[in-house]
Amino acid sequence: MSIVINGRELQFRPGETVLQIACRAGIKIPHLCSLDWSPSPSASCRLCVVEVEGSPKLQTSCTLIASDGMVVHTHTPRILKARRTIVELMVANHPPDCLGCHRAGTCELADLARELGVRPRQYVGIKKDHPLDISSSAIWRDPNKCVLCGRCVTMCHQIQGVGAIDYIDRGFRTQVGPGFYKGINVSGCTYCGQCVRVCPTGALMEHSHVDAVVSELGDPNTVVVAQVAPAVPATLSLGRSKPPTVPVMLEHLAAALKQIGFAAVFDTAFSADVTIMEEATEFLGRLQGGGVLPMFTSCSPAWINYVELHRPDLIPHLSTCKSPQQMAGALIKEIYPKYAGLEDKRIVLVSIMPCTAKKYEAEDLGDVDYVLTTRELTTLWDRFGIDFNKFEDRLPLDPPFAEATGAARLFASTGGVMEAAVRTAASLAGAETPTAPLNEARGLDEVKCFTFDVGDTTLNLAVVNGLGQVRTLLEEGPADLHFVEVMSCPGGCAGGGGQPYGTEAADLHRRLDRIYDADAHAEVHSSHENQSVAALYEQYLGQPLGEVSHRLLHRTYTDRSSGVLANDDAQTKRGARAGAGAPH
């Protein structure tokens, strides 16, 4: 079947929209509201309108299903005029402080304005005037910069199934935010950050720690050290024309971070290996000792928030393991000063994470002082004049938290924790360590259920790819599950809320390829074979789930469900500061 767009005959598959066909053919139709992974477009921005021969009305190409023989024009004078007027209307209701905006240079509205030849100050009049919402430690909102495209709402509702933000009020006063004009801290938001990642303007942002980190780096009395999550090198490697492997990229990162003043750079994948040791042991203990099953992974902080805020009934099912970030934090703060002879210094630990929820987690559990997202790391490079994609220096990561296995690298992908855990659990249970990729756990399917034999026992396993699928698993999945991996963000940390801005699914696939490649080429594949980890247990921790590891590496959970948009105390604590609870 074929369709003619701007005189070009293009083939298409049934059910495809005109926008999809055009994008594939290199015809750029501006669009703000539609997302690659959204099942039903909201069609709210109206920028992707096209003319269809035989139809008097302009139609949105994101909702227009192609039919055989359809003739479409995408850039006629009539369309250009309409699009320009729409963007001019957005600009007329947008703060003029582009120079101080964190999205300067990456703002899609600015791009559209330039591309469509928007005349500044074409329409003048009142502008929206909403208070900033800085009520949370992870995500901030500036509703004044919002163009109400609704991408964030789509992510929060349709993809993540959380529903913390929505359109509120109506007419010109419409804004996107939590109900009753409250702060996002009481909205039930899990801080997964998927909204931030897709926001086209500066309306949503992480609570930035860049300035604080810069200030710590300039303080002679502190020793600033970093830990880097496995998704970050995989993501950054794609900025180079010949993407280096993840371990090489980590060495570039270590060199660049030390260049700007970090004293040491550790690999969070190391603590991922520790996590596996603890988690696999915990799981086997539950399995053999009649503990609560299925056990859910606890690596993803937004998932923890989801349970504590929305499904406290699942708390007994959560692994008590801290996430790799927090395990690394505890280990670095406990061991590194002694190891490096820095016991009289103040150690400041900065995590570099693909995640916004890690900011909340760090504040909640301590040990980690600052969290920079992948995006903020770019800002940090800019601040210190590092042209990172051309930065060729390499330095090894710092012991004792430098060595990591292929299993730990997989933590950055959906199914990766499961795959890593299965390898070690099999070994701990006395079976052979599997070596082939666990393909049932990999890939972007929403819920992956499969079985795995460990010796005589058949384990029922499930991998949940994104918070929105938790309900699918619980309602439609098998009843006798043993172990479930949940990663809050679709694709896992590779698609995390702290990753570079963007709406294209292709980026995610490339990152996952880098991660799988890192495992394939790793010298050691299983966490229990990590010699540094073995040494750590020998020298400090003793046994997995032992007394020391219990103190350093495990945590408890709190039922916070009553605080969701109801608890006024929580509201006043932060919301009042933000002015986000101001009555209208």
Partner 1 sequence: MNRSVLIEPCCSLCTHSPGRPCPDLITCIQEGPLCHDDDTCRTLRAERLETVRRGGDGTVLFVGAGTCGRANGALHVIAKTKSYLEERSVPARLVEVGCVGFCQREVFVDLQKGDGLRLSYCDLTPDNVDEFLEAVFEKNELRNRFLYGRYGEAPGYEDVPLVADTPFFSRQTRVVLENCGLIDPASLDSALAAGAFAAAARALTTMTREEVCDMVAESGLRGRGGAGFPTGQKWKVALNTAAHQKYLICNADEGDPGAFMDRAILEGDPFRIIEGMLIAAYAIGATKAYVYCRAEYPLAIARLQGAIAQCRKAGLLGANILGSLTDLDIVIKQGAGAFVCGEETAILASIEGGRGMPRPRPPYPAVAGLHGMPTVLNNVETLANVSGILRNGPAWFRDLGLGEAAGTKVFALSGRVRNTGLVEVPVGIPLREIVYGIGGGAPEGHQIKAVQIGGPSGGCIPDEYLDVPTDYGKLQELGAMMGSGGMVVMDERSCMVDVARYFMEFIRNESCGKCTPCREGTTRMYEILTALTKRPVGEEIQRLERFRGLLHLEELAATIKETSLCGLGQSAANPVLSTLRFFRDEYEAHILEDRCPAGVCQGLRTYAIDTATCVGCMACKKVCPAGAILGERKSAHYIIVDRCLGCGACVDACPKQSITLVA
Give contact residues for partner 1 (rule: CB under 8 A): 40-47, 49, 57-58, 60, 63, 78, 81-82, 85-86, 89-90, 92-93, 122-126, 147-148, 150, 166-167, 169-174
Give the CA-trace dihedral at 36, 41, 43, 44, to 10 degrees.
Answer: -80
Smallest separation, CB 76 to partner 1 (Å): 12
Smallest separation, CB 109 to partner 1 (Å): 11
Closer to partner 1 by Cβ: residue 175 or 297: 175
Q: Whole-angstrom Cα distance, residue 456 to residue 118?
A: 68
Smallest separation, CB 63 to partner 1 (Å): 4
Q: Is the peptide bond before 478 cis (omega within 30 degrees of 0)?
A: no
Smallest separation, CB 311 to partner 1 (Å): 20
Smallest separation, CB 57 to partner 1 (Å): 7
Q: Whole-angstrom Cα distance, residue 218 to residue 377?
A: 17
Closer to partner 1 by Cβ: residue 165 or 536: 165
In 24-91, where do the E strands start and end? 49-52, 58-60, 71-73
Smallest separation, CB 517 to partner 1 (Å): 41
Closer to partner 1 by Cβ: residue 165 or 353: 165
**Which of 74-77's residues contact partners 24+ apart within 8 Å by CB, and which partners?**
74/5, 74/6, 74/22, 74/27, 74/29, 74/50, 75/6, 76/51
Closer to partner 1 by Cβ: residue 153 or 318: 153
Amino acid identity for residue 330 in this structure: A
Alpha helices in 37-169 (DSSP H): 77-92, 108-116, 151-154
First CA to last CA distance, the chain = 53
Closer to partner 1 by Cβ: residue 122 or 451: 122
Smallest separation, CB 292 to partner 1 (Å): 33
Smallest separation, CB 129 to partner 1 (Å): 14
Closer to partner 1 by Cβ: residue 188 or 354: 188
CB 37 within 8 A of CB 106: no
Smallest separation, CB 64 to partner 1 (Å): 9
Closer to partner 1 by Cβ: residue 46 or 383: 46
In 107-168, where do the E strands start and end? 139-141, 166-168
CB 355 within 8 A of CB 497: yes
3-state secondary structure of 39: coil
3-state secondary structure of 306: helix
Smallest separation, CB 446 to partner 1 (Å): 19
State the burial class of residue 9 (Cβ atoms within 10 Å of its Cβ: 0-12, 13-18, 19+): exposed
Q: Which of 293, 363, 354, 378 is nearest to 326 (CA)?
A: 363
CA angle (533, 323, 570) in 5-degree steps = 155
Amino acid identity for residue 447 in this structure: V
Q: How many helices (H) and strands (E) does the chain have?
A: 21, 17
Closer to partner 1 by Cβ: residue 169 or 476: 169
